[in-house]
């Protein structure tokens, strides 16, 4: 991110409702690791590109969204 030209906004499509509802909740819950990762990403984005507006959007986990299956595989690997 640091060396790229930022878009004016970015949307993260997330299939974990707990993360979307309370992304910065520090309490230990099932979605805590996802929230910590999101917090790190948002902090880095804000630091490197403060003008970029970040939005989160929930989506059902098994919709036919391009890249969704790959994202699920990467999330499982990271967990």
pTM of the model: 0.58
**How much is the pLDDT for 2?**
55
Domain ranges of the chain: 9-78
DSSP state of 36: H
Cβ atoms of 54 and 45 within 8 Å: the answer is yes
- In the numeric block, the tokens 């520090």 are attached to 26
pLDDT given at position 79: 65
Closest among 43, 35, 41 to 18, alpha carbons compared: 35
Report the greatest alpha carbon distance in the chain: 36
Q: What pLDDT shows up at residue 23? A: 73
**pLDDT tens per residue, range 3-53:** 667 788 988 888 888 788 777 777 777 778 888 888 888 889 889 888 889
pLDDT by residue (tens digit) across 54-65? 888 888 766 676
């Amino acid at each position: 991110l640091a060396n790229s030209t930022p878009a004016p906004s970015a949307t993260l499509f997330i299939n974990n409702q707990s993360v979307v509802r309370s992304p910065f909740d520090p309490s230990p819950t099932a979605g805590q690791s996802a929230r910590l990762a999101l917090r790190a990403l948002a902090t880095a984005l804000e630091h490197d590109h403060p003008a970029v507006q970040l939005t989160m959007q929930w989506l059902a986990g098994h919709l036919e969204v391009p890249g969704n299956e790959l994202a699920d595989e990467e999330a499982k690997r990271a967990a």
